[in-house]
């Protein structure tokens, strides 16, 4: 017993000493004063991205906040993010992992290792395996499926248009993006005639999982191993549900593969199964990786689309101009094709860029960590500090954008326009960016060609303020849709 107590004390002392060093070095970085023990954790509850926007205005592009004993430095604006994540890429690349966090412990054990919370060669290898399935050529090959999903969405919307009633749009976009990720991962899509119970459940579990993952918990305050629960039970319930679904899909995929005798279906899972056979990942690791790609890829695109349509329903002139541009560029009986038209319909690109600018749904990215002491923007940041990319505040700052809170696609025609970085900056940025761009552009083009999206109460602009989560959540939004003509299907 004595030995165990001594061991725990030694670990505690090690952690406390390490934290003291970080605190000492970071103490010169400006930032809000915090409460003893809690630091700033109570002040940033709720819409954290708005609080960080306010801190950026008060303290500048490099500011420090404390989450209990965790030292967090927040970087805002492309120039400072570039200085850190590109000019010092190696020092800022790793994911921040709390050593005493159970999830992180689980994830970092070989058995459960996923993608998002791994580092080093394991992460590098996995990222390149998955990226090899998301090249421009692969995406072009999959375009037919993306168009199919867009058309299915149109068919559902046609029913709503025929009813002539307003309806909540959000879950349709979520289903669209989940289906595309499932196509890339497993070569399948979620069966739906409309929003049935099981599809809605998957959407809700993914959103809840993200939300729970983004909420600070008691363990955030503590620098040492402890017995307190890390996350509410609901978190594990969500993970188990997702894992169960994924295991079923992997099982189905394997039996389909053995029944057809084919080795190559062109889905990401093919490549991951090879990694499993080589012993580079475990069975549970495979599940964690699939959960990571599913949650990272589904909610982000769904929320982005919802924000875009809210903006366009609030400004009919943008929607009308886009509709006319698309009509002029694409023959009436031809589908929109991303690979064919992405460079030839400038106004569509402007609308997509402005969507990503005004609504960078990965608002604070995912936490990174410094591997050495480093000077950024004139401030010394200690080795081991948690680093956050303040993407929302960067994209909404008057320093880089004129009228940043307005939706103005034409801003990208100006000469000295800011730099978009909604997929984060540096080599550890979003793995799905090419797919996301293709999905968002294709869905906007196909839907706007076929429907007019209307705010049912035009005297009151639709709310476009999101609710903080790892992927900003768009408000539940009721729209009216009107068919433009016979659908281009
Ligand atoms: C509008 C859509 C999307 C946005 C705005 C977005 C944004 C982001 C951001 C900000 C990060 C954090 C990067 C960092 O830590 O520096 C990220 C990471 C990630 N994203 Fe996306 N993302 C989107 C779509 C997707 C899609 C479609 C996929 C799936 C194919 C995906 C998969 C991932 C993965 C796996 C990571 C973790 C990368 C790593 O740890 O190396 N994302 N994304």
361 within ligand 1 shell (Cβ under 6 A): yes
CB 131 near ligand 1, within 6 Å = no
Return the pLDDT at 405.
Answer: 98
For the chain, what percent of residues have pLDDT higher than 90? 64
Is 443 a residue whose pLDDT tops 90?
yes
Ligand 1 atom index nearest CA of 115: 40
Tens-digit pLDDT profile for residues 149-163: 999 899 999 999 999
What is the spatial distance between Cα 101 and Cα 229, in angstroms, rounded to a whole number?
10
Q: Which of 117, 179, 210, 432 to mutate to test the pocket of ligand 1 (most atoms within 8 A of CB)?
A: 432
The whole-number pLDDT of residue 346 equals 96
Q: How far is the CA of 141 from the centre of ligand 1 (A)?
A: 21
Q: How far is the CA of 433 from the centre of ligand 1 (A)?
A: 7
The answer as to whether 285 is a domain residue is no
Q: What is the pLDDT of residues 16-72, one digit of tens each?
A: 667 889 999 999 999 999 998 889 988 998 899 999 999 999 999 999 999 888 899
Other Cβ atoms less than 10 A from the Cβ of 31: the count is 22
Q: Please state the domain count of the chain.
A: 1
What's the mean pLDDT when you consider all of the chain? 88
Residue 86 in any domain: the answer is yes
Query: Which of 68-72, 198-202, 390-394 ranks highest by mean pLDDT?
Result: 390-394
> pLDDT class for 422, splitting at 50, 70, 90?
very high
Mean pLDDT, residues 209-216? 77
Q: Is residue 38 part of a domain?
A: yes
Ligand 1 neighbour 297 (Cβ under 6 A): yes
> Between 255 and 355, where is the model more confident?
355
Q: Is pLDDT above 80 for 2?
A: no
CA of 123 to the centre of ligand 1 (A): 14
113 lies in a domain?
no
Predicted TM-score (pTM) above 0.90? yes
Tell me if 400 is assigned to some domain: yes
Ligand 1 center to 24 CA (angstroms)? 33
- Whether 17 is covered by a domain: the verdict is yes
- Residue 228 has what pLDDT? 57
Beta carbon of 443 within 6 Å of any ligand 1 atom: no
- Percent of the chain scored above 70 by pLDDT? 86
Is 362's C-beta closer than 6 angstroms to any atom of ligand 1? yes
* 348-381 tens-digit pLDDT: 999 999 999 999 999 999 999 999 999 999 999 9
Atom 41 of ligand 1, residue of closest alpha carbon: 428
Q: Which domain holds residue 39?
A: 1-91+363-421
The residue-averaged pLDDT of 459-480 equals: 96
> Could you tell me which residues are annotated as the binding site for heme?
430
Question: Of 107-116, 191-200, 304-313, 356-365, where does mean pLDDT reach its minimum?
Answer: 191-200
Position 106 in a domain: no
Within-domain flag for 130 = no
CB 293 less than 6 A from any atom of ligand 1: yes
Q: Report residue 487: phi and psi, to 5°.
A: -60, 145
Residue 32's CATH number? 3.30.43.20
ipTM of this complex prediction, to 2 decimal places? 0.99
Q: How confident is the model at residue 231 (pLDDT cuts 50, 70, 90)?
A: low
Q: Cα(430) to centroid of ligand 1, in Å?
A: 3
């Amino acid at each position: 017993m004595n030995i165990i107590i001594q061991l725990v004390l030694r670990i505690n002392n090690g952690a406390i000493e390490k934290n003291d060093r970080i605190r000492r070095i970071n103490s010169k970085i400006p930032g809000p004063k915090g409460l003893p023990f809690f630091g700033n954790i109570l002040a940033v509850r709720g819409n954290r991205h708005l609080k960080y926007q306010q801190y950026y205005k008060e303290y500048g592009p490099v500011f420090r906040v404390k989450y209990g004993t965790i030292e967090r430095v927040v970087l805002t604006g492309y120039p400072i993010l570039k200085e850190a994540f590109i000019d010092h890429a190696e020092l800022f690349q790793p994911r921040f992992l709390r050593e005493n966090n159970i999830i992180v412990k689980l994830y970092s054990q070989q058995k459960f290792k996923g993608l998002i919370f791994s580092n080093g060669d394991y992460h590098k290898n996995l990222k390149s395996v998955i990226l090899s399935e998301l090249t421009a050529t692969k995406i072009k090959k999959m375009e037919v499926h993306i168009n199919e999903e867009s058309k299915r969405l149109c068919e559902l919307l046609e029913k709503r248009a025929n009813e002539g009633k307003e309806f909540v749009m959000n879950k349709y976009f979520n289903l669209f993006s989940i289906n595309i990720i499932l196509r890339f991962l497993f070569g399948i899509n979620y069966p739906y005639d409309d929003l049935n119970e099981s599809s809605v459940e998957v959407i809700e579990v993914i959103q809840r999982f993200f939300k729970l993952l983004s909420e600070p918990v008691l363990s955030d305050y503590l620098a040492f191993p402890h017995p307190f629960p890390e996350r509410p039970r609901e978190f594990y319930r969500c993970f188990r549900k997702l894992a169960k679904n994924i295991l079923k899909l992997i099982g189905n995929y394997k039996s389909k593969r053995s029944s057809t005798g084919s080795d190559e279906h062109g889905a990401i899972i093919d490549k991951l199964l090879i990694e499993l056979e080589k012993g580079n990942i475990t069975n549970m690791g495979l599940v964690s990786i699939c959960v990571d790609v599913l949650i990272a890829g589904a909610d982000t695109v769904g929320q982005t689309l919802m924000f875009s349509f809210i903006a366009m329903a609030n400004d009919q002139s943008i929607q009308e101009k886009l509709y006319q541009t698309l009509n002029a560029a694409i023959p009436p009986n031809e589908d929109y094709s991303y690979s064919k038209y992405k460079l030839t319909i400038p106004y569509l690109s402007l609308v997509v860029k402005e969507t990503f600018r005004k609504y960078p749904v990965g608002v604070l990215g995912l936490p990174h960590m410094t591997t050495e002491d480093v000077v950024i923007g004139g401030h010394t940041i200690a080795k081991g500090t948690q680093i956050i990319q303040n993407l929302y505040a960067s994209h909404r700052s008057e320093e880089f954008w004129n009228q940043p809170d307005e939706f103005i696609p034409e801003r990208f025609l100006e000469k000295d326009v800011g730099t978009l970085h909604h997929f984060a900056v540096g080599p550890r940025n979003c793995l799905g960016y090419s797919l996301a761009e293709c999905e968002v552009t294709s869905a906007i083009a196909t839907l706007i060609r076929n429907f007019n999206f209307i705010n049912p109460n035009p005297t009151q602009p639709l709310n476009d303020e999101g609710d903080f989560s790892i992927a900003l959540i768009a408000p539940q939004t009721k729209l009216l849709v009107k068919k433009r003509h016979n659908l281009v299907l």
